[in-house]
Amino acid sequence: MAVETLPYSRPPTEDPDLGMGKNLLAYQRKMRLIQTAKIGLVWIALIAFLTFALLQLRFDPAYVFSHYGFVLQGLATTLGISLASIGVATILALLGALGKLSNNAIAQGLSSFYVSIFRGTPLLIQIYIIYLGLPQIGHQLQSYGLTQLGHLFTLTAVQSGILALSLNYGAYMTEIFRAGIQSISHGQREAAESIGMTRWQLMRRIILPQAVRVIIPDIGNQFIAMQKDSAQVSVMGIWEMTYRANRMARQESKFMEMFVVAALFYWLLTIVSSWLEGLLEKRMAHAYER
Amino acid sequence: MNDNEIIRVENLHKWFGLLHVLRGISFTVKPREVLVLIGRSGSGKSTTLRCINFLEEPSSGKITIAGQSVMLSPGVKVDHQKEISMRLSTGMVFQEFNLFPHMTALENVIEGLLTVKKWPKDKAIPIGMRYLEKVGLLDKRDVHPIRLSGGQKQRVAIARALAMEPKVMLFDEPTSALDPELIGEVLDVMKQLALEGTTMIIVTHEMGFACDVADRIVFIDRGEIVEEGKANDIFNNPQDERTRAFLEPIRKVRLV
């Protein structure tokens, strides 16, 4: 049998002062718009000033317009390396966080060791070790007759770059995932346990879906940071934006021109990324809005 | 174990650090019985309830639910699988509802059927609808918890526990987090369950309700059962000094 309860009904009369509320709302909206417009003007002024200053200082815009395409061709590489790395880093971070939060001493040890090493050393050194250091081990292994294994240690520049960025960011993101998982209230875990879920089921069905929503902005920030840190893989001669800008700049000593172009592209890339991240965040908030 | 018992708790002890919160609790529950645990805040009644489905690991004692039993003593880890299989005999309703916020009301109710019992969706949904209807919330099936009132959330939580068809329902202060005007709808659902013969253990501060639905009342103080008996006897003629002191203010109100 169904239980009947009285629905709560709002009094039907309309508030006679509703106009006052509407006016107030319109006024607040207008003030916000004006503020946004003012900030926009400041931006435009700053950009205009910087452009003007550059033009006064023997900056060669013609060179920029004729050569920006060369840098832009590296955009796909930059973006590709960043996307692949954030993907692998996310998986590493999830494993790292689960390890840190598990009761298993081996899992805890592995993950804390991993985080400690990769947060405690510079990304550039990690790139050098993976790209230049590992093949040395590979050669040694090959000389022992372990040809297949030796090959595994000899990575291409792109592979090395993705591996280094993934491992480095995975370590930072482990902490983000751990904090996100721990931010979900204990009651959620108890409710899931009380209907008989195993630890893995409740992690997968209850905790992680909620934790992911919490950490989406942080993952977005990491992705933006990674797009810029990917410039460091240019030391291996990967033809991404920084390497291309560098190469073109050196040809005719047009350093300011080419590096400003590269900087602009990175900047635009991060603006687009944070806009996309905002959309994603909004989409995931659906269940949490009244 | 006696066929006439669904739950038997024997000599249950619980330590939080050096705090001895349960000091040898023993009681039994018969099928179709409604047992109400009363006592002051911090007396150990919630802990007792939470030990029955292992949300708190008991420090020592023996718990038997529907024929499965487990012995606990310090330093002995309970097998996780055993814990889970015993948990399936009980359904728990929490003070803070603990609905899953990323799921709709219906998804909350069928989550256990899908994930734990591995039922296909088309088999689970009719069951979920049936229990939502039982708590009077069928029209809210596609609504996320944030758009429900406290009373509605708690009723969905009750439906979620019922959907797993447990042998015993456990209620841990189910109305304590509710605004006064929302308490009634939750108590109505629980009364209905009691009428239908659901076996229940209820921890509550709603003494009027306790008196109405309880077949038996257990008064716990400082981790021990001080007195137990029929609702009328406990409320009108408490034997122990401590029970009398606890109930005195409530009885005064009832007399007025």
- Any A CB within 8 A of B188 CB: yes
CB A123 within 8 A of CB A170: no
C-beta atoms of B147 and A190 within 8 A: no
Q: What is the mean pLDDT of chain A?
A: 90
Q: How far is it, in rounded angstroms, from Cα B148 to Cα B145? A: 5
Alpha carbon distance, N-terminus to C-terminus of chain B: 45
User: What is the tally of helices (H) and strands (E) in chain B?
Assistant: 9, 10
CB-based contacts of B252: which residues, under 8 Å, 6+ apart? none
Q: What is the mean pLDDT of each run of 10 residues along chain B (256 residues)?
A: 82 94 95 94 94 92 92 84 92 96 96 96 96 95 94 96 96 93 94 94 92 93 93 88 87 63
CB A89 within 8 A of CB A169: yes
Partners of B252 in beta bridges: none
Question: Is residue A263 helix, strand or coil?
Answer: helix
The Cα-based distances of B133 to B16, B95, B142 in angstroms read: 40, 22, 13
For residue A54, give the nearest of A247, A252, A261 by alpha carbon: A261
CB B150 within 8 A of CB B177: yes
Answer yes or no: is pLDDT of A203 > 90.
yes
Answer yes or no: is pLDDT of A1 > 50.
no
Joined together, the tokens standing for residue B89 give 């005999």
Q: What are the tens digits of pLDDT across the range A112-149? A: 999 999 999 999 999 999 999 999 988 888 888 888 88
- Any B CB within 8 A of A10 CB: no
Q: How far is it, in rounded angstroms, from Cα B39 to Cα B219? A: 6
CA atoms within 13 A on the CB side of A114: 26
The Cα-based distances of A211 to A87, A116, A225, B191 in angstroms read: 17, 23, 21, 37
Distance (Å) from the C-alpha of residue B84 to the closest C-alpha of chain A? 5
Instruction: State residue A63's pLDDT score.
Output: 87
Chain B partners within 8 Å of A184 (Cβ) = none
Instruction: State residue B195's pLDDT score.
Output: 93
Count CB pairs under 8 A between chains A and B.
91
Joined together, the tokens standing for residue B196 give 């239908």
CB A250 within 8 A of CB A185: no
The Cα-based distances of A275 to A90, A270, B95, B122 in angstroms read: 20, 8, 40, 39
Joined together, the tokens standing for residue B80 give 């996780």
Chain B partners within 8 Å of A206 (Cβ) = 100
Joined together, the tokens standing for residue A110 give 């592995």
Chain B partners within 8 Å of A180 (Cβ) = none
CB A215 within 8 A of CB A272: no
Answer yes or no: is pLDDT of A8 > 70.
no
- Any B CB within 8 A of A205 CB: yes
Answer yes or no: is pLDDT of A59 > 90.
no
Q: Return the DSSP state at B99.
A: -
Chain B partners within 8 Å of A199 (Cβ) = 80
**B84 → closest Cβ in A185, A198, A210:** A198
C-beta atoms of A195 and B160 within 8 A: yes
